[in-house]
Structure 1
Amino acid sequence: MTHAIPDPAAREGVAELVDRLRANRLPPPAERRAIRKRADVTLDDVAKALGVEKMTVSRWERGVRQPWPKNRAAYICLLQALAKLDHDLGWRIRETTAAHADQETAE
């Protein structure tokens, strides 16, 4: 259940806090791996992009370790970008497939 926040300043403050919390939150370890794999990115690709060892990324994805603060923000940013890329590509693939199916039906 959501509640309307009538005060615009409070509504903006709440939105900013939620955005900040969301921006600093890592998905669960299994989801980190799923995001990477859906984007067809290797552990080595992620490790090179972040300047860490491949085993380090593997540990993050297995939940054995958490990223150090100096790597955390970059890792979150990368995961968000990969998830968005997956989402954008997914839409394009579905749209292309649907358009192709429509074209075949019309013929």
Structure 2
Amino acid sequence: MSDPLRRLDALVDDDTLPSPRIRQQLRVTAGLTQAEVSHAIGVKRVAVARWEAGLTKPHRGNRLKYAHFLRRLAEKYPAAAQEAPDED
């Protein structure tokens, strides 16, 4: 694969976010508050709350940081990264 294609793949992979439900599951499983996550990323707590609710999406720079953070949590807590079936 040529370098330009790798760079394009990296753009897609580096900022891909899991579903809002998984985002919250990962954070809660890690025992972190929205405030702790927001402080680490450099945004207000309400931004993380909106991202987890699926109301908004982070802008490019924050999305890269947030996606990296979530990937690291998914590596540490793989069970939390799994989509659970809806409970009816």
Q: Shorter-chain TM-score category? A: 0.7 to 0.9
Runs (4 or more) in structure 1 with deviation over 3 Å come to 16-19
- Pick one of 46, 50, 55 that aligns with 1:64: 55
* Pairs aligned (count): 76
1:1-107 correspondence runs (5 A)? 16=6, 20=10, 21-87=12-78
SS of corresponding position for 1:84: helix
Structure 2 gaps of 5+ residues are: 79-88
Note the aligned Cα RMSD (angstroms).
Answer: 2.1
Q: CA 1:24 to 1:43, structure 2 compared with 1: closer, same or farther past 3 Å?
A: same
Query: Which is bigger in relative contact order (C-alpha 8 A, separation at least 6)?
Result: 2
TM-score (norm 1): 0.61
